[in-house]
Amino acid sequence: MESDEDQHGSEALEGSLSALQLEDTTEIEEVGDLSTSQLDTSAVGYPHDQSFQVLELPRGDLDSLPPISRSLYEETTECERKGWERRHQGQEEQTDDDRWTFEQENKRQALYRALFYPRSVIPKPDDDVDYIRASELLVEKIEEENRGQSFRDCETSERPAIFHGVFMHEDVCSRADVLEYFGNGEWGVVKIKTSKTSFGDNDAYESLAFPVYVVKHCGIKVTKAAAVYANRDFQIQMNEAAFFKRDDLTDVIFRGGVLQVLEGDQNAPKSIAHVQSVTSRAEPPPKIVVPSCKNCSFFQDCHARKLRHSIWELIRLRPERFEELKKITLEIEEIPSSFKLSQTNMIVKQSVITNSPQIKEQQLQEVTFNASVTTLSSSFS
């Protein structure tokens, strides 16, 4: 496994921010020789490039379940049934938006690497070594080559690091955007975000805590955690390094309870152990009924196919009203007259019962009148 240092120097930065747009869809175009995307999509829908070949991860036999990723963890903690279905049926087909986002992540990480980590390396699997083992070997190599040295107080440019290392503990797998070495066997995990803001709540912190958990439980001494994100005040005339901001989140992750949540026992609903238990069972967990079900890819299988017109079709039904209604019925036509609906949803209910569209005559007259006035005004202009 050879170093990539000779492959990313000043030439990797040419034109790196020439087309930078700091809008909500922040984009880095043409990152020198890194502008050509290596993005691909596997047969089961996992996005991957040369740094994250999910299909090559060890699976045991062909009947074994795929590893638990961060996205699978998040889906399971949102809905255990959804997590179980996802793990047993496979990932969703990746959309063009997913591919674009993943490509931008790769470009941003490549730029960050070129700017701040000239001593970094990327795992290189071959016929004899898979990606996980290649990542582990790099950790061992860096610790051995830098035995007795400390990089805690130096610049990142002097600090050894691994980009896109993939690690697996039991059946839980994660990629660490950056694994930086501080010396004396201590490492830090860095999450490179695509947004212009740092983390703001516990759910967001979990996206950093998840790789910390996996790497730590692989026997690697992780003592620090950080997040990198785009500087919302960046101007194109600034130095390229000013595009990135970094927050040290060590206290939040290690002493703020975030990592402890993941490390809880099977009875803790947001623990890794609980997700492992739920998604590895032979039978799926019971279905739940919540407003967000309608946005789930398994909605048809769980609910919709058994219902003629479900209460999810009602317009802007408040969550507390949804909770009340689901205890009565999931069918719109079975909603009792005693259950108060808005005027709009009364029209929806009437349309379902009569199997015909319902038109509010007053609004139709207003629309017709306004259209007539507009047409008449245009004829005199």
**3-state SS string for 54-97:** HHHCCCCCCCCCCCECHHHHHHHHHCHHHHHHHHHHCCCCCCHH
Over residues 347-360, the mean pLDDT reads 85
Residues paired with 174 in a beta bridge: 167
Residue 40 lies inside a defined structural domain of this protein: yes
Residue 270 lies inside a defined structural domain of this protein: no
Residue 186 lies inside a defined structural domain of this protein: yes
Over residues 150-154, the mean pLDDT reads 88
Residue 182 lies inside a defined structural domain of this protein: yes
Q: What are phi and psi of 114, to 5 degrees?
A: -65, -35
Q: What is the pTM of this model?
A: 0.76
Residue 380 lies inside a defined structural domain of this protein: no
Do 63 and 154 reside in the same domain of the chain? yes
- Strand arrangement, sheet containing 120-121: 120-121, 161-169, 172-183, 186-192, 221-230, 244-248
pLDDT at 3 over 60: no
pLDDT value for 199: 75
Do 258 and 306 reside in the same domain of the chain? no
3-state secondary structure of 27: strand
3-state secondary structure of 224: strand
pLDDT value for 16: 53
pLDDT at 40 over 80: no
Do 15 and 109 reside in the same domain of the chain? yes
pLDDT at 49 over 90: no
Confidence of residue 86 (pLDDT cuts 50, 70, 90): very high
pLDDT value for 19: 37
Q: Which of 59-73, 118-132, 309-323 has the lowest mean pLDDT?
A: 59-73
Do 257 and 297 reside in the same domain of the chain? no
Structural domain span for residue 238: 5-262
CB 17 within 8 A of CB 236: yes
Do 216 and 296 reside in the same domain of the chain? no
**Domain total in the chain:** 2
Over residues 110-127, the mean pLDDT reads 93
pLDDT value for 46: 32
